[in-house]
Chain A
Amino acid sequence: MIAVIFAQGSVLPFNFWELLFVFLYLSSLILIGALGYRARKTKSLQDFYLAGKGVGFMVLVLTLYATQYSGNTLFAFSGKTYRIGLPWIMCLHFMTAIVVCYLLFAPRMFQLAKKHTFITPPDFVQHRFENRLLTTLVSIIMIVAIANFLVAQLMAMGRALEGITVWDPQTAYSVGVIVLALIVVIYESLGGFRAVAWTDMIQGGVLMIGFLLLMFIVFEHYGPFDKAAKVIAERTEGENTAAKIALPDAQMMRQWYSYILIVGIGGALYPQAIQRIYAARTWNTLRTSLATMAFLPLMTTVVVVLVGYYAIAYHPEIGNEKSDTVLTVVCSEIQQSSLFGRVIICILFAAILAALMSTADSILLAISSMFTKNIYGVWIRPKANDEHLTNVGKMFSWIVITIAVTIALLLYRGQSLVQLLDKKFDLLVQLAPAFMLGCQFNRITTRAVTVGLIMGVISALAFGFFSESGKPWGIHAGLYGLLLNLLVICNIELLTKKRADD
């Protein structure tokens, strides 16, 4: 979705100084990777994937922020507001729900992670259920669920360069994908989590400033909301526009609940986010970071929804088909209005790149760590030492990024594969019993969780494929799968208990 934005939008090509600013920003990321490499203390997996004893408050909160909010937040959310109207404020609820869901397992998991030196999310599953097959299954589901997200970020990076240069579009796209992917994999394999967290800190900061600037310039440019509301109400070409600011209908309200549940649960189970829970230096660090995270949706998602609101009022010409270009169109208008506008858009562009790269680097690190620790280190070389595993992890990162870049280049105009694979939340929520119930209940057994997980994944995929929208009756397919998953677990637990009583 986000991959079409820049190409279809009309941001003016950047001049030399603007391109130099972007170049310096990107170069600084490699420098940080080198600093991360110098700061390493041992050649252990823990040092590479969790920065040794972990990170402090500022780094943690900004890396969590940069990881949770991707390019999707900026483009897809403003586009969706344009399409369905103000009811998309539901994104504020579901982004907050992610932090609420952390309450179910983050404190306990952090405690266990510190005690037993967990590195990847499946490490918790292995510790809790002591079953290598279940751990491998969880690793594979997590890798598959987030891999498509990596391709989507790379495609958006290509579109970003395509949008700001005067080069041939396909050449610019290819250069964007390859160069930006190369920068990500270089700083990631140099400094591991330390470099990723440090760059995330810069990227999170730039992103936060970007959101604030966006609100400021949009308000400055278009004027107060009353004026926009008046324009929408007075528009004669249909009730449809006015309906976009009205209370949602029953179907939309059902979807609203569905989104809160699926994104809240699924987003909390992002492997890269769980690794950040492990990486908190102390409980106080994690506690303060999560408490701060609870408020960040208010200053992030509300801004993009309001941009969409202005676009409904002042840019009816965009149309639903090109609604994901809403932000680009708004930026273009501001860019043309003044020199100050150009400067702001340049910073905003850096924020967009920051959002894309910080999500991509975290996914890459999570995939490489799960493959190395929970698949290679268990099934292929069980006796390998930490140094060997760390090297394999770095090598695997290069293999993953090469595959992802190839797919991104092949999908230059099409997105069908990405859409086909875009089932990440449907898959991730099936892991909720293993992580959330596993943390809370002692009695839950390995067999019940394994069978429930398999049934949940199969039914979520089946519901998704047999329904055109992926949301039968307005409810996400993954939630039907989760319901079946939980029913299977309850049944097996009850049967086991009955047999034990007999």
Chain B
Amino acid sequence: MNDQKELSTHPVQRRVFHVAIFLLLLIVAVPWYWNLVGLDPVYPLIFGLPRWFVIVIGHSFIVSVYTAWCICTFKFNEFACDQPDEDKTEQEEQA
């Protein structure tokens, strides 16, 4: 195994937090809870579309926003190894 250090040290808490949020989003992705709370399977319509359908799209939008946020806030210095050279060069150029 090469580069043992490279494959470790992303802060565990942060990782567990993200995994927990994504699991939660996965659980509520499918509207299985709809009947449990006694909502109508079609009506009322929102913009001509069933309410559950609109909520699924809204949920997916939240997943997209959270995913994009996770990607954008990801930092390479949370890893043990160095940033790729090209990134360093780019940051140096920006500085």
- Is A284 a contact of B90 with CB atoms below 8 Å? yes
CB distance from A301 to the nearest CB of B (A): 9
- Is A246 a contact of B64 with CB atoms below 8 Å? no
Determine if B84 is an interface residue (Cβ-Cβ < 8 Å).
yes
What residue in chain A is nearest B3 (Cβ atoms)? A112
What residue in chain B is nearest A442 (Cβ atoms)? B7
- Chain A residues with CB under 8 Å of B71's CB are 103, 287, 290-291, 294
Sample of 26 A–B contacts (CB below 8 Å): A92-B60, A93-B60, A93-B63, A96-B60, A96-B64, A100-B22, A103-B71, A112-B6, A114-B84, A116-B2, A128-B2, A129-B1, A229-B45, A247-B31, A247-B50, A247-B52, A256-B30, A282-B86, A282-B90, A283-B83, A283-B84, A283-B86, A284-B87, A284-B90, A292-B68, A442-B7
Among A93-131, those with CB < 8 Å from B are: 93, 96, 99-100, 103, 107-108, 110-112, 114-116, 127-130
16 additional A-B residue pairs with CB within 8 Å, beyond A247-B52, A283-B87: A93-B60, A100-B63, A103-B70, A111-B84, A115-B81, A130-B2, A224-B48, A226-B47, A242-B42, A245-B42, A245-B50, A247-B31, A253-B31, A256-B30, A291-B72, A297-B64
What residue in chain B is nearest A114 (Cβ atoms)? B84
Residue interface mask B57-95, A partner, CB < 8 A = 1: 100110111011011101010010101111100100000
Count residues of chain A with CB under 8 A from any CB of chain B: 57
- Chain B residues with CB under 8 Å of A442's CB are 1, 4, 7-8
CB distance from A443 to the nearest CB of B (A): 9
- Chain B residues with CB under 8 Å of A89's CB are 53, 56-57
What residue in chain B is nearest A257 (Cβ atoms)? B30
- Chain B residues with CB under 8 Å of A441's CB are 7
Per the bound structure, the CA–CA distance linking A111 and B9 in Å amounts to 14
- Chain A residues with CB under 8 Å of B17's CB are none
Per the bound structure, the CA–CA distance linking A287 and B75 in Å amounts to 10
What residue in chain A is nearest B18 (Cβ atoms)? A103
Residue interface mask A216-251, B partner, CB < 8 A = 1: 000000001111110000000000001001111010
CB distance from B1 to the nearest CB of A (A): 7
Determine if B20 is an interface residue (Cβ-Cβ < 8 Å).
no
Interface residues of A (CB under 8 A from B): 53-54, 86, 89-90, 92-93, 96, 99-100, 103, 107-108, 110-112, 114-116, 127-130, 224-229, 242, 245-248, 250, 253, 256-257, 260, 281-284, 287, 290-292, 294-295, 297-298, 302, 309, 439-442
CB distance from A52 to the nearest CB of B (A): 11
Contact of B67 among A90, A96, A245 (CB under 8 A): A96
- Is A227 a contact of B48 with CB atoms below 8 Å? yes
What residue in chain A is nearest B76 (Cβ atoms)? A283
Assuming the A-B contacts A100-B22, A111-B76, are A282 and B84 also in contact, with contact meaning beta carbons closer than 8 angstroms in the complex?
yes
Identify the interface centre among A228, A229, A284, A294: most chain B CB within 10 Å of its CB. A294
What residue in chain B is nearest A90 (Cβ atoms)? B30
Among B33-53, those with CB < 8 Å from A are: 34-35, 41-42, 45, 47-50, 52-53
Contact of B57 among A108, A246, A302 (CB under 8 A): A302
CB distance from B77 to the nearest CB of A (A): 11
State the 3 A-B residue pairs at the shortest beta-carbon distance, nearest first.
A225-B48, A226-B48, A114-B84
- Is A100 a contact of B67 with CB atoms below 8 Å? yes
CB distance from B12 to the nearest CB of A (A): 11
Per the bound structure, the CA–CA distance linking A112 and B4 in Å amounts to 12
- Is A93 a contact of B29 with CB atoms below 8 Å? yes
- Chain B residues with CB under 8 Å of A284's CB are 87, 90
CB distance from A299 to the nearest CB of B (A): 11
- Chain A residues with CB under 8 Å of B4's CB are 442
- Chain A residues with CB under 8 Å of B34's CB are 247
- Is A107 a contact of B76 with CB atoms below 8 Å? yes
CB distance from A309 to the nearest CB of B (A): 8
Assuming the A-B contacts A89-B53, A282-B84, A295-B68, are A246 and B48 also in contact, with contact meaning beta carbons closer than 8 angstroms in the complex?
no
- Is B26 a contact of A260 with CB atoms below 8 Å? yes
- Chain A residues with CB under 8 Å of B72's CB are 287, 291
Assuming the A-B contacts A245-B42, A442-B4, are A92 and B67 also in contact, with contact meaning beta carbons closer than 8 angstroms in the complex?
no
- Is B49 a contact of A225 with CB atoms below 8 Å? yes
Per the bound structure, the CA–CA distance linking A114 and B81 in Å amounts to 12
Per the bound structure, the CA–CA distance linking A115 and B86 in Å amounts to 10
Per the bound structure, the CA–CA distance linking A260 and B27 in Å amounts to 11
- Is B57 a contact of A92 with CB atoms below 8 Å? yes
Per the bound structure, the CA–CA distance linking A99 and B50 in Å amounts to 27
- Chain B residues with CB under 8 Å of A128's CB are 1-2, 7
- Chain B residues with CB under 8 Å of A257's CB are 26, 29-30
What residue in chain B is nearest A254 (Cβ atoms)? B30
- Chain A residues with CB under 8 Å of B57's CB are 89, 92, 298, 302
Assuming the A-B contacts A100-B63, A297-B60, A439-B7, are A260 and B49 also in contact, with contact meaning beta carbons closer than 8 angstroms in the complex?
no
- Is B50 a contact of A246 with CB atoms below 8 Å? yes
CB distance from B94 to the nearest CB of A (A): 9
Contact of A127 among B2, B32, B70 (CB under 8 A): B2
- Chain B residues with CB under 8 Å of A250's CB are 32
Contact of B87 among A86, A242, A282 (CB under 8 A): A282
Per the bound structure, the CA–CA distance linking A100 and B31 in Å amounts to 20
- Is B63 a contact of A225 with CB atoms below 8 Å? no
CB distance from B53 to the nearest CB of A (A): 5
- Chain B residues with CB under 8 Å of A242's CB are 42
- Is A53 a contact of B60 with CB atoms below 8 Å? no
- Chain A residues with CB under 8 Å of B50's CB are 86, 229, 245-247
- Chain B residues with CB under 8 Å of A99's CB are 64, 67
